[in-house]
Amino acid sequence: MILVTGASGQLGTALLRALPPGRVVTTSRRPVAGPRHVTADQADPGWADALAAGAADTEFAVLLASRITTSTSLAELAAQAELELRGPLDLLHRLPRLRHVVYASSVTVYRAGGPLAEDAPRAPANVYACVKLLAEDLLGVLAARRGIPLAILRIAQVFGPGSPPGEIIARMCAAARAGRRLEVSCGPDAFRDYVDEDDVAAAIVSAIERRADGAVNVGSGKKTTIAGLAAEIAAAAGAPAPDVTDGRPTFSMVLNVARARSWLGWEARRSPSDEIRRRLRGP
Amino acid sequence: MRALVTGSCGQIGSRCLDALRGRAEVVGLDRRAPADVVHDLRTPLSPSALEGIDAVLHLAGSREDVAFEPTAAWAAVEANVVATANLLAAVPPAAHVVLVSSISAGAASAYGASKSAAEHVARLWTGRLTIARLAQVYGPGTDPRNGMYRMIAAARRGEAIVVDCRPDLRRDYIHVNDAARLLVEILLGPSAGEINVGSGGGVAIGELARLIAGLCGAPPPTLRADPPAGGRDYVLDTAALAARGLGPAIGLADGVASEIARLGAR
């Protein structure tokens, strides 16, 4: 069986569309319709116990559960580490048939810039990214100790139908459809690497099938400027041209995705433009 | 100047307190008594506890390196990462913080991962920060499971020390008195980004074994004819320390001889 944690989230939902339901056991705080499900909160001390009991037949684990925060408050580190890490460290030893683990890490472990390959220096700039870095290393130590391959997927900025309303493409499309002028406060040059949720799900499936072992970037490998994204959305929606100002600096980065091609036989298919068209076409 | 030393009851911390006396008003923090502030940094610390502190030497943590089982891995996270975050969340913004890290930061162990993460966490702090990476500390108070002390124990029993690994692999040892003195100089100096505190060259494991055997009058070390390949040197680059005119005062031969003398004749 394939255990999926954080199954009710954006990536979890996308991954469940890509996996055969009969082979999946899910877990999340909220119930998930469809496959076998263990309702358990990763923040609770009994989380690994619940899964050791309810998902003992797990051979493949996909660790997606997380809580995204951009906080740099050191006072929040303890809770973030407890939530993201304590359960999975315990779980790794509680599933006797475990053969492979996928851990959903993040491009935020890197310093800005790019194209960034997997050996680029890591320099997490907030509490979330620090915990991701620690999880990469500690899960790596424990998995190596048990002889279990561990795929660490460093996932770029995700878009798609399952995005929360605050995700940048979702937010700008909604504003432009309402006729509002978009505001971009990070200057004309700030860029990101955007990747579609179903493309990420396909990368995860491939990582499982190929028993990928090590860090792999999962992104488009293409620079998309935030100002360009806003201009495209405004034009497509017939909204006024965006107001671009040089405000606060932002985290500009793009991935080198050569390893994903060779290790996973994978590349991103859907682009932000596809997502913009889908969102602006919708009701 | 008010200086806080965390882990003040520990092997290095207690010596740092002594080295600081007369040069600063010293506050010791430890989870055990006797400390001026008894607090377990795995739980949040109130900023009011650190009011008026100008300099912080953060030594508290776990040096257990056995941590391959999950509870031990989480223990390393709490002791080394969570504790660092909780401390820095309470430190006055103008203070100089010296995070004591390790030559093992980044090594493939739970300890190495936790020390590396502690460095990253400390860099989130916006004040003046120095990351001081310590070589392998020896001297009174060292865990007897340390490689040097296992060699000394064998030699004191009159046995030939068995060197299991490649004898040319280098290790970096610094006496605890040197470590404490140098950390205090770094604490009282300007913030330095990163600075390594080591011997400046290290010693080959085979050479250390011969030194110990000689000092104890034990037979020469037994080297494996076919040692396992791989392994790596662990030696710190101490150029930044030397550039400040700082370095260890206790040579390895003298330091090891004093430890053997302290432990007594066999």
Structure confidence by residue, pLDDT tens digits, B188-233: 999 989 999 999 999 999 999 999 999 999 999 999 989 888 889 9
B164 shares a domain with B90: no
Task: Dump pLDDT digits (tens) for B232-262.
Answer: 999 999 999 999 999 999 999 999 999 999 9
Where in the sequence is the domain holding B224, given as residue range(s)?
A: 136-173+199-235+249-266
At residue B67, the pLDDT reads 45
pTM of the model: 0.94
Are B266 and B154 members of one domain?
Answer: yes
- The percent of residues above 90 in pLDDT, for chain B, comes to 86
**What ranges make up the beta strands (E) of chain B?**
2-6, 25-30, 37-38, 55-58, 96-102, 128-134, 136-138, 162-163, 170-171, 173-175, 193-197, 203-204, 222-223
Pick from A270, A140, A85: nearest CA to B75: A85
Domain boundary among B80, B112, B134: B134
In a domain, B189, yes or no: no
B194 near A CB under 8 A: no
Is B64 domain-assigned?
A: yes
Which of A81, A127, A141 is the closest to B110 by Cβ? A141
Check whether B266 has a pLDDT greater than 90.
Answer: no
B66 touches chain A (CB under 8 A): no
pLDDT tops 70 at residue B51: yes
Residues from chain B contacting residue A81 (CB–CB below 8 Å)? 77, 81-82
Dihedral angle sign, alpha carbons of residues B206, B211, B215, B220: positive
Q: Within this chain, do residues B9 and B68 fall inside the same structural domain, yes or no?
A: yes
Average pLDDT of chain B is 94
In a domain, B128, yes or no: yes
Domains of chain A, earliest start first: 2-157+194-218 (3.40.50.720), 160-192+221-255+269-281 (3.90.25.10)
Q: Is A74's CB within 8 Å of B85's CB?
A: yes
Cα separation, B84 vs B185, whole angstroms:
21
Instruction: Give the Cα separation of B227 and A31 in Å (integer).
Output: 55
Measured between CA atoms, the residue of chain B closest to residue A85 is: B74
State the CB neighbour count (10 A cutoff) for residue B66: 11
Both tokens assigned to A57: 């037949």
B123 and B209 share a domain?
no
Q: Are residues B27 and B106 in the same domain?
A: yes
> pLDDT value at position A250?
80
Please give the Cα distance from B123 to B131 (Å, whole number).
9
Q: Where are the alpha helices (DSSP H) in chain A?
A: 10-18, 47-54, 77-81, 87-91, 127-146, 168-177, 197-209, 226-237, 258-259, 272-281
Q: Is B207 part of a structural domain of the chain?
A: yes
Position B242 in a domain: no
- Residues B54, B160: one domain? no
ipTM here: 0.92
pLDDT value of position B265:
61
Among B83, B114, B134, identify where a domain stops.
B134
Answer whether B44 touches A (CB < 8 Å).
yes
What letter would DSSP give residue A3? E
CA distances from A72 to A75, A77, A103, B85, B87 (A): 9, 9, 23, 11, 14
Specify whether B266 is located in the same domain as B143.
yes
Scan residues 130-189 of A and list those with Cβ closer than 8 Å to B.
130, 133-134, 137-138, 140-142, 144-145
When divided into structural domains, chain B yields a total of: 2
Domain CATH code at residue B225: 3.90.25.10
Locate the chain A residue with the closest alpha carbon to B83.
Answer: A78
B126 with B3, same domain? yes
Q: Is the pLDDT of residue B111 over 70?
A: yes
User: B257 and B153 in one domain?
Assistant: yes
Same structural domain, B5 and B130: yes
Instruction: Specify the CATH number for the domain of residue B104.
Output: 3.40.50.720
In this prediction, residue B69 carries a pLDDT of: 59
- Whether residue B97 is contained in a domain is answered as yes
| Boundary of a domain, candidates B103, B134, B165 | B134
Sign of the Cα pseudo-torsion (A111, A112, A117, A118, in order): positive
Residue B241 lies in a domain: no
Residue B121 and residue B141 share a domain = no
Query: Could you give the CA distance from residue A64 to residue A10 in angstroms, rounded to a whole number?
Result: 10
Q: What is the pLDDT of residues B144-158, one digit of tens each?
A: 989 999 999 999 999
Q: Are residues B3 and B63 in the same domain?
A: yes
Mean pLDDT of B130-144: 96
Residue B24 belongs to some domain of the structure: yes
CA distance A225 to A238: 20
Please list the ranges in chain A whose pLDDT falls under 70. 282-283
